[in-house]
Amino acid sequence: MTASFYQDKIIAITGAASGMGRSYATLLAQQGAKLLLSDVDEEGLNETVALASVLTSPENIVTMKMDVSSTEHWQAFKELALSRFGGCHMLINNAGIEGAAKPVWASSEAQIKQTMDINFYGVVYGCRSFIPLLVKQDWASIVNISSIFGFIGTPNASDYCASKFAVRGYTEALMVELAHVYPQVQVHLVHPGGVDTDIARSERTAKFKHKFLTTPSDEMCQVVLDNVIINNPRIIYGNHAKKTYWLSKLLPLKQLKKIIAKGLALVDKNEYSREHQGFK
């Protein structure tokens, strides 16, 4: 039997307590990787460990309760990688939240800031903390998770879209920079379409979740792992992903706006009143 590409690779994953983070963890456990799993949700993280431990030796798994928006936590996560495994080959910046799920005028500044702190700055802090470890390897990879909402702006998701556009811009710049100095460190930008996870947790987004979040999480993550092996920098997969990408590339915004407006049928429209406080 040929060894898996990921056998013995040291791989750090954020947001590993649920959804795609859990899928990466179990798929990579199966392939003999050494895993550093983190999440704010300790209970979910323990469930992931229970699932992954059946597939690999327990010594291959290390966990940390961690908030990606904290630079102190990132420092501790990096130190854990060094002390337990002596370094790191791959960082999957996967943790994320759905955000306010409200129109611009109804989203609070605190919520917008939280979305940016987790979805964008979490990725920034992750890259900055782990790059010094990754450049020491003969092969390494950074996998940053954007979204198809990193291609288009959709109703009730302005903060989420802003965070995912930001991840895209940051990662596209990083991949050019690093290739110049450390070409063995691959950088990947992932744009999942609708993937069946618990990201849309609120009742406000239930209709959206039911209609769009349909691609199985394991399938999505296996495609990402396969594309990392072939060093594909932009990975677009999942329900509506390719279609959204091409429409965003080819259509003038005037036409694109009309198509995106159909998404209004799926959002909670309680705040779409001229009487809303946000207009006063």
Which residues have a Cβ under 8 Å from the Cβ of 206 and sit 6 or more positions away? 200
Instruction: Enumerate residues 6+ apart whose C-beta is below 8 A from 274.
Output: none
Structure tokens given for 251? 């259509």
Pull the structure tokens for residue 6.
């990921």
Q: What contacts 24+ positions apart, CB below 8 Å, involve 227-232?
A: 227/188, 228/90, 228/141, 228/143, 228/186, 228/188, 229/5, 231/186, 232/188
Catalytic member of 24, 125, 160, 237 = 160
Min dist CB 164 to ligand NAD, Å, is: 7
Active site residue 170: no
DSSP-based three-state secondary structure for 191: strand
Under the rule (CB under 6 A), what is the footprint of ligand NAD?
A: 14-15, 17-21, 39-41, 44, 66-69, 94-97, 118, 145, 147, 192, 194-195, 197-199, 213
Cβ 54 to ligand NAD shortest distance, Å: 20
Instruction: Detail the DSSP E strand segments found in the chain.
Output: 10-13, 34-39, 61-65, 90-93, 140-145, 185-192, 195-196, 215-216, 234-237
Tell me how far, at minimum, the Cβ of 95 lies from ligand NAD, in Å: 3
Measured from the CB atom, is 140 or 161 closer to ligand NAD? 161
10 vs 95, beta carbon nearer ligand NAD: 95
Question: Residue 206: what are its φ and ψ, rounded to 5°?
Answer: -60, -45
Closest distance between ligand NAD and the C-beta of residue 181, in Å? 27
Of residues 172 and 272, the one with the C-beta less far from ligand NAD: 172
Least spacing, CB of residue 67 vs ligand NAD, in Å: 4
Of 29 and 118, nearer to ligand NAD (C-beta) is 118
Separation between Cα atoms, residue 15 and residue 144, nearest integer Å:
12
Active site residues: 160
